[in-house]
Structure 1
Amino acid sequence: MNTFSKVLLAATLTTAASSCKSFLDVNTNPNSATAVTPAQLLANAETVTAANYTSYNAYGSFAAGYWGKSNAVSGYNEERTYNYSSTYYQGLWSNTFDNIEDYRLIRTNAMASSYPNHVAIARIMEAYNFLLLVDEYGDIPYTTAVQGLGNTQPTFDKQQDIYKDLVVQLKGAVTDINAATSAAMPSTEDVIFRGNMNKWKAFANSLRLRILLRESSTNDATLNAYVKTEMALLNSPDGGFITTDVLVQPGYAANSGQQNPFYNTYGFAVGTTNTTSTYKFTLPTKYFINLNQNLSDPRVTQQYMANKSGAYVGTNLGEKSPPSPVLSATSGSTLLVGGDFLRGANQPTPLMLLAEHLFSKSEAEYRGLLSGDAQADYTDGIRASFQTTYRTSTTSSSAAPVAPTPQSEAYLAANVGNGLVDWAATTTPQTDAYGNITSGTRTVSTLEKIITQKWIAEAVWGSIEAWDDFRRTGFPIIPISLEASSGKFPSRLFYPQSELNTNAANVPTGVTQYTKIFWAQQ
């Protein structure tokens, strides 16, 4: 099996939330990685990050209210009830740490000093991966993590401390890029930016904004002062911010072991004409469908297929007391083949959406944390989402990232006066728990407006970020009463059983699925 096949096999296993060892580990002993160069390691590491992120978004799609199960399958107990266990998505933990080890190999390689830009990229991607872990688990191994046989039972660092060091690492990576003078520039082995180091600096800055915005949502005066200082440095960051979606494209193709991991799991297996069984197991929720339809949002038509009756219909988010039978794949709306999420076997994997960044920037500006035009960035966030989402071709290239399109402008025009879209409006029609419009109106805050539009834009491609924002802000107002038997949302994943089996002495005690991440309200 060639290297690329191994990468995509790892992608498929990761999407299924496997806890298997990463296929990207080139050396069995991470302390003697002398046979390969950082350039030879980079593409594999980035491709596995994309596969892992697909799994995070699969988890987030259920947790954040985008997906429910169809009646074509039993199981999905955790997704239906929000009663988690220590084995639920435990592969996120092991596969992410394996991937961090891949980047650490690049940074500690015997030839690392000759590849300073590759090392800087690895430093940024380590921060990206550690952030994913902290946001779902809280305290994790950090300062003593990924040391191979040198430390098989790492201690756990406090999540607040890790957050602050991630900012240090990202700023340091930008400094490293500026200082790099080596002729060993990344090229095609960088399957994200193809060696464009200015884009890597912009990505590092946008990650800093993501981190600081989450840190800004606490009542800790000292932390708030720190955030204010760090945000000021982002008013004119070296390298700017991202201006397009951040995409991984290693050369996905409709060949065995080379398909995009999401398409391979939720679309078609190689050489088949029938969709996978997983395709039939997941449907959009009533809340997602109704919200889109209430706002006359055409993006849903590019994401899901109308059912056999020609209607877009969502299923129950949970099954505490479902008022109607859970829908099947034929009575509900399944993923649209050839649409946004299933464009083709060669579709790229997003790591950060431009829309997410613009909505984050808008929020920071609205709250006085950044200078800039909050309304303009909010409107550009909507337009960027349409550039990403509203397309009919599996191979079309995106236009200018925030250019108006007929669909985005029609969406804005259709919602003049609706506070969930219109920047100046402050009310929206009242709805029931499923999102069906009832009588009367309710007040909408600017923060709810921003986060609701961000939630719509992040569907599936950035579901884990939407889940984080929901726990941080409480928006959008997803109907909890119909979901969990406990009557409340979980706050985090349990520490995985695999870690309890091998490092129990260091795993924090007293942690449940309702133990909040330090920045969370939910």
Structure 2
Amino acid sequence: MKNKHLLGLALAASLVMSTASCSKDEFLDVNKDPNRTTAIGLPVQLTNIIVSTGFTVGNDIGRVSSLLVQHMAGAINQPATYDVYNIRGAFDNQWNFELYNGTLVNSKRLIDQAELANSPAYAGIGKLLLAYNFALTTDMWGDIPYSQALQGLNNLAPRFDKQEDIYKGNSSKNIKGLIELVREGLADLDKPSALTPSGAADPAYAGNIAKWKQMGNTLLLKLATTMSKREPALAGSIINSAQAGAITTNADDFQVPFGTAVGNRNPLFEYNFVTRQDDQLLSQRLLDSMALRNDPRLPVFFNTTQPRTATVNTTGTITPFGTFTGFQNGANAPLPARIPVTTNTALTNRSRYNVYIRGAQGEAPVRILTNFQRLFILAEATQRNLPGFTPPAGATAQSLYRDAIRASMTKAGITDAAVTAYFTANPAVANLSTNSERALNQILTQKWIAWVGNGYEAYNDFRRTGYPRLALVDNPAGDDPTVIPQRLPYPNTEINANNGAEGLDPNIRTSARVWWAQ
């Protein structure tokens, strides 16, 4: 790979950061420039990073992962292509602009400037956001520019670090891993700070540092669980140490709010209800799974022809949902040429996200780290008996599993009494199997359902566990039609621009598993 152009990727992010002087191997080193004013922009930068993180999770990465885990199905246009595993040549914008020239470089800048301003409250939050967005990047692509990325002109060819090193760190290569980065961010939040975020500057927590600590500990649970197949003992110890400080109520979930104004709407609403109304629909496979379980979240997550609501009475019986119509993943769309959706009978009668997921006018939040996620993680760790992990006092895999379902359902607006009635009326759902693998399948299937609206998290869980058991779509294609894609393909702009990609297979098959899923 000789004579590459200085364009693209983490490289372009390097150019954005060209005014900073950092050491060669540590992306968290800062330029101690006493003449530079840093305090003024911290609130604006924080707002931008939080909102951009939510947008990235809900935009193209969220859409393709929701197709790959069969929450949604692609009817026509780009989603129909993704649905049958044709994903090469896409996602350059997500890599180049949403991540490396977006949330990643901006988080780095926030950290640098907060440290100059003697404001570890901002720096700590910045490190948590940087860790989350780097985790998103490596989870979707595998090996990525990490420890040498975001260094400006000091390094125009950042190497691709191995995913194992990105998660765990590697002192011989001077790589600070994601686990250490999160812990460093949490330590910063315990320090006195000249400036702290407040109000609208922090759309997630309005400057509540205690809640940011909960977010950071929940992020540790997520990272540990993601690598638990490869590193069960390390994962168990991390989960054990972080569980007490994690999110414990739905009200403290880390989610990014959106509004109703054009340019500030939830990306799921913007795509599915404004720009591409007929492209992406409820997967028939998810519909069948939820209907089989009489799941009361179905009419909350998706709309119907009529009526659009359903209730669970005191005996656990569900009033009919109305007509749900899904679309089969990979089906040859039996639809006319693109015409206004109001005149397209075949599409009018198909189900899309309901207001819980996308908002009536785009105001629904993108949900990123949640209380139900914590409970499912603890249920899985207990069921698997991860070494080094001790469940909360008095808790069992069964009790944690039910608590997780309850947290998901009540977050969706189902009353606590209705959830109890649902458990009574549906023992096959409420009670874990005595067979360990079947029980694990139950836990991960319920987590898959709970994550509707966040395909990225469901995609991670499916790739690392194989649960739920998802069949290939109809008419699979892509570079390996026998396997649901396990990663996104690297952008050509990155491969062609970055000498640090030497030795990386630019055409690695999308069926190749990432490190933590092997």
Smaller-chain TM-score bracket = 0.7 to 0.9
Evaluate the alpha carbon distance shift between residue 262 and residue 332 of structure 1 in structure 2; reply closer, same or farther with a 3 A threshold: closer
Asked if 1:366 corresponds to 2:374, the answer is no
Q: Give aligned-pair identity as a percent.
A: 27
**Contact conserved, 1:359 with 1:381, CA < 8 A, in 2?**
yes
Equivalence for 2:485: 490
Q: Relative to 1, partners in 2 of residues 1:191 and 1:20: Cα closer, same or farther, differing over 3 Å?
A: farther
Inter-partner Cα distance in structure 1 for 2:179 and 2:9? 30
Match of 1:4 in 2: none
Instruction: Give 2:65's match in structure 1, choosing from 46, 60, 73.
Output: 60
Shift of 1:76: 3.5
1:492-511 CA deviation, whole Å, 9 max, x = no partner?
11111221231155151162
Work out whether 1:330 is the aligned partner of 2:348.
Answer: yes
The residue that corresponds to 1:100 in the other structure is: 104
The aligned counterpart of 1:130 is: 134
2:84 corresponds to 1:91: no
What amino acid does structure 2 have at the position aligned with 1:80?
A: D
Distance, in Å, in 1 between the alignment partners of 2:220 and 2:264 is 32
1:514 shift after superposition:
1.4
Residue 152 of structure 1 aligns with which residue? Answer: 156
Q: Does the CA-based 8 Å contact 1:68-1:316 persist in structure 2? A: yes
2:192 matches 1:181: yes
Paired residue for 1:467? 459
Q: Give CA-to-partner distance per residue, 1:435-456, whole Å, 9 cap, x none.
A: xxxxxxxx96111010000000
Alpha-carbon shift at residue 77 of structure 1 (Å): 4.8
- For residues 284-326 of structure 1, the C-alpha deviation after alignment (integer angstroms, 9 at most, x for no partner) is 111111111111112111222224795212111113xx6x947
Specify the alignment match of 2:319 in structure 1.
none
Pick aligned residue for 1:293 from 291, 294, 299: 291
Matches within 5 A, 1:188-227: 188=199, 189-218=201-230, 223-227=231-235
Structure with greater helix percent: 2
Compute the displacement of 1:92 (Å).
2.2
| TM-score, length-scaled by structure 2 | 0.79
Write the distance in 2 (CA, Å) between the matches of 1:328 and 1:504.
50
Q: Could you tell which deviates more after superposition, 463-472 or 369-378?
A: 369-378
Distance 1:141 1:340 in 2: 33
Tell me the SS of whatever aligns to 2:281: strand
Contact 1:143/1:157 (8 A) holds in 2: yes
The higher relative CO (CA closer than 8 Å, separation ≥ 6) is in 2
> Displacement, 1:383?
1.1
CA distance in 1, matches of 2:45, 2:420: 44
Change (3 A) 1:74 1:348: closer
The separation in 2 between residues aligned to 1:480 and 1:364, in whole angstroms, is: 28
Shift of 1:38: 2.4
Q: Matched residues in 1 for 2:351 and 2:9: separation?
A: 33
Correspondence 1:451 to 2:444: yes
Q: CA separation in 1, counterparts of 2:129 and 2:248?
A: 15
Letter matched to residue 371 of structure 1: T
The answer to whether the Cα contact below 8 Å between 1:191 and 1:248 also exists between their aligned partners in 2 is: yes
Mapped to 2, the partners of 1:76 and 1:120 lie a distance apart of 37
Matched residue of 1:298: which SS?
A: coil
Residue of structure 2 in register with 1:80 after alignment: 83
Deviations, residues 36-72 of structure 1 (Å, cap 9, x unaligned): 44233111111111111112221211111111123xx
Letter of the 1:51 counterpart: F
For structure 1, which segment, 98-107 or 308-317, has the greater mean C-alpha deviation from structure 2 after superposition?
A: 308-317
CA contact (8 A) 2:301 2:357 kept: yes
Q: Does residue 1:348 correspond to 2:365, yes or no?
A: yes
Quick one: structure 1 residues 259 and 110, their matched pair in 2 at CA, closer, same or farther if it must change by over 3 Å? closer
1:52–1:92 contact (8 Å) kept in structure 2: yes
Give the 3 Å change call, closer, same or farther, for CA 182–235 of structure 1 in structure 2.
closer
Distance in 1 separating the partners of 2:513 and 2:442:
24
- Specify whether residues 447 and 255 from structure 1 end up closer, same or farther in structure 2 by C-alpha distance, changes over 3 A only: same
- Say if 1:386 and 1:407, in contact at 8 Å, map to a contact too: no
**Distance in 2, Cα, partners of 1:255 & 1:516:** 40
Q: Distance in 1 between matches of 2:499 and 2:9?
A: 20
Q: What's the counterpart of residue 386 of structure 1? A: 409
Query: Following the alignment from structure 1 to structure 2, what is the Cα–Cα distance between the partners of residues 484 and 504?
Result: 34
Distance 1:307 1:91, change over 3 A: same
Larger mean Cα displacement after TM superposition, 300-309 or 110-119: 300-309
How many angstroms apart in 1 are the aligned matches of 2:136 and 2:403?
Answer: 26
Alignment match of 2:278 (pick from 270, 277, 280):
280
Q: Give 3-state SS (helix, strand or coil) of 1:258's partner.
A: coil
Letter in 2 for 1:405: D
Q: Is the CA contact (8 Å cut-off) linking 1:295 and 1:414 kept in structure 2? A: no
Number of residues of Structure 1 aligned to a counterpart in Structure 2: 446
CA distance in 2, matches of 1:282, 1:481: 15
Residue 390 of structure 2 aligns to which amino acid in structure 1?
S
Deviation at 1:235, TM superposition (A): 5.2
| C-alpha displacement of 1:26 | 13
Q: Which residue identity is paired with 2:487?
A: R
SS in 2 for 1:480: coil
1:49 corresponds to:
53
Instruction: Verify the 8 A CA contact 1:216 1:224 in the aligned structure 2.
Output: yes
Unaligned runs of 5+ residues in structure 2 are 1-7, 21-32, 169-176, 308-321, 336-344
Q: Could you say which residue in structure 2 is the equivalent of 1:502?
A: 497
**Contact between 1:303 and 1:341, CA under 8 Å: does it hold in 2?**
no
* Residue 139 (structure 1) shift: 0.6
1:313 to 1:139, Cα distance in 2 relative to 1, 3 A: same
